[in-house]
Amino acid sequence: MLIKKAVDIPSSEITPKNVYLNRRKFLAGTIISGAAAVAGMSLRELAEPTNVLKDVSNYNNYYEFSTDKYEPAKLAKDFKTQPWSVTIDGQVKKKQVLDVDTVMKMATPEERIYRHRCVEGWSIVVPWVGFSLSELIKKAEPLPKATFVEFTTVLDPNHMPGQRTGVLDWPYVEGLRMDEAMHPLALLCFGMYGETLPNQDGAPLRIVVPWKYGFKSAKAIVRIHFTDKQPVNTWNKSAPNEYGFYSNVNPNVDHPRWSQAKERRLGEFFKRPTLMFNGYDQVASLYSGMDLKKNF
Ligand code: MTE
């Protein structure tokens, strides 16, 4: 994983905008490097360049808008992400409904450069902005029964054309085991490339779980629910033999219809080998003793 300060990003990779105009834009000084916060960073990974914003924000999986990766940028352009509230409920002491701006102020935002590997075989490297999901979870004070966290995406068929189709069961739901959600790498994300998240990338709030296939990283979250039951995630519901609950990036477990051994980095021609846990070896201990072929 490569982590660098916002000031190190080549200017070609940053969209020039007036950062003072919108409270959701980030003052350069408020983003700190996540290096200190994230354990187990390995230098080997520092060589990987980030993709450029233009590419990342014009090639999206966002089925609420379209199944065509080139369309969410256009179709989500006028989607309203303000006002936006997030409900925190279930097995938790502090059940509450929070404005997204309050959520964003719960901890200091950091820039985290993560590999992001889609189950379909492409990957990108993105400088996200956010803080560890654990910061929010700690503040919510989960009860001992809370062994899983479920994330629900907004349901708004009037403004999300994909939700007027039956391509998936809406709203989009994802889930993590509590120890996964508490891992410092799991990111509560509200920006990228030093800016507010583009709508097509999940504004105003998403999660990013870099050691799992991209579909675990739910966009446009409106509910964070603490539970003692393993959530039924949308893709698992849609095709249980193809998409599991865990969905850890694993080159040794193929998708029933294609190999997962390699991936194509957006903008590159040759495929590269996919790494176990997407290269984030520091999460391996979360799964010790588990059969990852069965728990795919
Ligand atoms: N979240 C919602 N709500 N809807 C989606 O269709 N697609 C997932 C994930 N989160 C999806 C979602 C998939 S399959 C991937 S690969 C990533 O978002 C893509 O994130 P990106 O467009 O920011 O690269």
Over residues 10-53, the pLDDT tens digits come to 444 433 343 334 445 554 446 665 544 454 444 334 468 999 99
Per-residue model confidence (pLDDT) at position 31: 66
**Pick from 65, 215, 201, 195: which is nearest to 151 by CA?**
215
* SS3 of residue 133 by DSSP: helix
The pLDDT value recorded for residue 73 is: 98
The label of the residue with tokens 């409904």 reads 97
More confident position, 38 or 6:
38
Our answer on whether the CB atom of 218 is closer than 6 Å to any ligand 1 atom is yes
8 A C-beta contact, residue 119 and residue 255: yes
76 lines ligand 1 (CB under 6 A): no
φ, ψ (nearest 5 deg) of residue 113: -95, 115
Q: Beta strands 110-117 and 32-33: pairing type?
A: parallel
Strand segments, DSSP code E, in 95-236 are: 96-99, 110-117, 122-132, 148-153, 173-177, 187-192, 195-196, 206-208, 221-227
Q: Are 50 and 58 in contact (CB under 8 A)?
A: no
Q: What is the whole-number distance in angstroms between the Cα of residue 172 and the centre of ligand 1?
A: 10
Number of neighbours of residue 97 by Cβ within 10 angstroms: 12
Q: Is 281 helix (H, G, I), strand (E, B) or coil?
A: helix
122 Cα to the center of ligand 1, angstroms = 13
CB-ligand 1 contact for 214 (6 Å cutoff): yes
For residue range 110-156, what is the model confidence (pLDDT) as tens digits? Answer: 999 999 999 999 999 999 999 999 999 999 999 999 999 999 999 99
What percent of the chain shows pLDDT beyond 70? 84
Q: From ligand 1's centre to the CA of 62, what distance in Å?
A: 5
Ligand 1 pocket member 60 (CB < 6 A): yes
The token pair that represents 280 in the structure block: 């984030």
Q: What pLDDT is attached to residue 47?
A: 63
The whole-chain average pLDDT of the chain stands at 89
Residue 33 has a pLDDT of: 57
Q: What global pTM score does this model have?
A: 0.89
What is the 220 CA–ligand 1 centroid distance (Å)? 10
Token pair 């675990």: residue: 216
Kind and range of the H or E run holding 89: strand 85-90
In whole angstroms, what is the distance from residue 296 CA to residue 294 CA? 6
- The residue whose CB lies within 8 Å of the most ligand 1 atoms, and thus the one to mutate among 62, 71, 86, is 62
Taking residues 237-252, report their average pLDDT. 98
Class of domain 79-282: alpha beta
3-state helix, strand, coil in the chain (%, to 5): 25, 25, 50
Q: What pLDDT is attached to residue 12?
A: 43
Q: How many whole angstroms from 206 Cα to the centroid of ligand 1?
A: 9
pLDDT in tens, 186-242: 999 999 999 999 999 999 999 999 999 999 999 999 999 999 999 999 999 999 999
Which of ligand 1's atoms lies nearest the C-alpha of 235? 14
Q: Are 287 and 247 in contact (CB under 8 A)?
A: no
Average pLDDT estimate for 53-77: 98
Amino acid residing at 78: D
**Neighbour count for residue 263 (Cβ, 10 Å):** 23
Local structure of 27: helix, strand or coil = coil
Q: Which amino acid is at 154?
A: V
Q: Is the dihedral of CA 58, 63, 65, 71 positive or negative?
A: positive
Using the mean position of ligand 1's atoms as its centre, give its distance from the Cα of residue 60 in Å.
Answer: 7
